[in-house]
Amino acid sequence: MNICLNDKIFEMLSAIVTKDSIKAWIIGGYVRDHLLHRDHPEKDIDIVVVGNGIDFARKAAKAMGPGIKVSIFRNFGTAMFRYGDYDLEFVGARKESYNRESRKPVVTTGTLEDDQRRRDFTINALAVSLNRETFGELLDPFNGISDLNAKIIRTPLDPGITFSDDPLRMMRAIRFAVQLNFTIEETTFKSIASNAERIRIVSKERIIEELNKIIMCDNPSRGFILLEKSGLLKIIFPELDSLKGVEKKEGKAHKDNFIHSVRVLDNISSNTSNMWLRWAALLHDIAKPVTKKYDSESGWSFHGHEFLGGKMIPDIFRKLKLPLNEKMKYVKKLVDLHLRPIALSQEVVTDSAVRRLLFEAGDDIDDLMLLCEADITSRNEATRKKHLENFGLVRNKLREIEEKDAVRNFKPPVDGSEIIRTFMIKPGREVGIIKNAIRDAILDGIIPNEHEAARKLMIDKGQELGLTPQDESPEPNIQ
């Protein structure tokens, strides 16, 4: 079988290979995606050569243009450079697999087939020749094409060997299955289940990269269900694993919160490609197991799971090696607030409650509403419709109040420095009390969101605290 390599970059590489009588092939993801007609966002091309990959990368860079900078990773025996839109990675064919966690340099060189054998999956072991006389020829000693057509993830070797070479491959199997909508062949999957413990030797950074890729799939629930079934989930993410299961008391059962959470993740994934909003969906009920209570009158409850869930986020992010920055705060905020719009849809809604939610959610209010709508997982069409209609009312109310009061990005019309200047006091407890009183009065609709009214309240509140204004006519706070 021949593959049509019509990009000029392959011609260039072929010319270099032929000139120096080097044996080289394109291998891995590029070949797989090309055969699947899959548009890959990153144009990574892996090239394997018999001999020294680093030397060949240097040669190729020199021949392909002036000023190309080659990055060398001696520990992995690889080198790469960028050419146009492409990232080219070069590696020498090896007989034994290297351990990606190891710092030991790769030494054992081998043939192309040796190299293909030590790759992760048959569909990733397909190689296409760059050599002039065989240009475009597909080398498929492990039946990758047949697995590609049958949509199967299978290891070229006994899966126990492939997975012990690099246990991250167990997660990659699941990620590819979900990303490509493939099935993991039975022996391969059984081997993941029996080798799951070995994932512990893989760095958290590599694990989270795969987890994020699963989250970004169209149907991420399938990935999490496979992670759970294989036993990987309880090792890499025990908090999520402990959401699973249904308990029944006196004939009353609660829903399986793991299944619910991954369905919410699927729901939101059809409306957003914001990875952090997807994370918030996955984690919104994370504190349900620790807040679960049963009462024979009222049944199962999970009181306060939203606040406790919010509190758990920094620790979960730290453990998973997710960033401890604004993204984490955003997820925490959405978890914290995820029941608030529901509350607004159930009771007679006061303007003040809507204003408070707008103030707390700020610019993330639209994402919060998406999360709440995704949280409806009832299979009963009438119930779904009713909840969605209620959220529609909440959205209208939010729009109305936002137009009227503009509290979404609330900035107090009287700030801390004006309070300090007016009473000639030092920053401290009183400043906080006055600021909170002004904020609460505005959010509760007691005073308008304007400087004059806020200043009057500041004076009154200050006097209650025994403070006397020293400066009666300061510059108004320009907003």
The residues that touch ligand CTP, with contacts defined as CB under 6 A, are: 28-29, 44, 46, 119-120, 124, 166, 168-169, 172
Q: Which is nearer to ligand CTP, 165 or 285 (CB)?
A: 165
Residue whose C-alpha is closest to residue 196's, from 219, 221, 173: 173
**Contact by Cβ (8 Å): 408, 367:** no
Least distance in Å: CB of 10 to ligand CTP?
17
Q: Letter for the amino acid at 378?
A: S
Nearest residue to 22 (alpha-carbon basis) of 46, 70, 56? 56
3-state SS assignment for residue 282: helix
Give me the least distance between CB of 42 and ligand CTP, in Å please.
6
Task: Write down the least CB distance from residue 104 to ligand CTP, Å.
Answer: 16
Of 476, 464, 458, the closest CA to residue 420 belongs to 458
Q: At what angle do helices 429-443 and 351-361 cross, to 10 degrees?
A: 130
If the CB atoms of residues 29 and 92 are measured against ligand CTP, the closer one turns out to be 29
User: What is the gyration radius of the CA atoms in the chain, in angstroms?
Assistant: 30
116 vs 257 by CB, closer to ligand CTP: 116
Which C-beta is closer to ligand CTP: that of 159 or that of 462? 159
Q: Which is nearer to ligand CTP, 130 or 283 (CB)?
A: 130
Least separation in angstroms between CB 383 and ligand CTP? 39
User: Do 357 and 341 form a contact (C-beta atoms < 8 A)?
Assistant: yes
Q: Are 169 and 156 a contacting pair, CB within 8 Å? A: no
Q: Could you tell me which of 241, 320, 329 has the C-alpha nearest to residue 288?
A: 241
Q: How far is the CB of 141 from ligand CTP (least distance, A)?
A: 14
Smallest separation, CB 97 to ligand CTP (Å): 7
- The distance of closest approach from Cβ of residue 235 to ligand CTP in the complex, given in angstroms and rounded to an integer, is 18
Q: Which is nearer to ligand CTP, 35 or 344 (CB)?
A: 35
Instruction: Give the sign of the dihedral formed by CA 448, CA 450, CA 453, CA 457.
Output: positive
Backbone angles phi, psi at 44, to 5 degrees: -95, 130
Nearest residue to 284 via CA among 316, 252, 251? 316
What is the Cα–Cα distance from 172 to 178, expressed in whole angstroms?
A: 10
Q: Provide the minimum distance between the beta carbon of 290 and ligand CTP in the complex, in angstroms, as a whole number.
A: 35
Which token pair is 134? 């065989």
Residue type at position 12: M
Place of tokens 């049944």: 299
Please say whether the dihedral angle defined by the alpha carbons of residues 18, 21, 22 and 27, taken in this order, is positive or negative. Answer: positive
Nearer to ligand CTP, 44 or 360 (CB): 44
Who's near 396: CB < 8 A, 6+ residues apart?
none
Q: Report how far residue 410's alpha carbon sits from residue 138's, in angstroms, rounded to the nearest whole number.
A: 62
* Both tokens assigned to 459: 């004076």
The single-letter code of the amino acid at 229 is K
Q: Decide whether 119 or 284 has the Cβ nearer to ligand CTP.
A: 119
Choose between 176 and 276: whose C-beta lies nearer to ligand CTP: 176
Q: Round to whole Å and give the CA distance between 83 and 64.
A: 8
Smallest separation (angstroms) from ligand CTP to the CB of 165: 8
- The nearer residue to ligand CTP, 172 or 263, going by C-beta atoms, is 172
Residue with the CB atom nearest ligand CTP in the bound state: 29
In angstroms, give the least distance from the CB of 135 to ligand CTP: 21
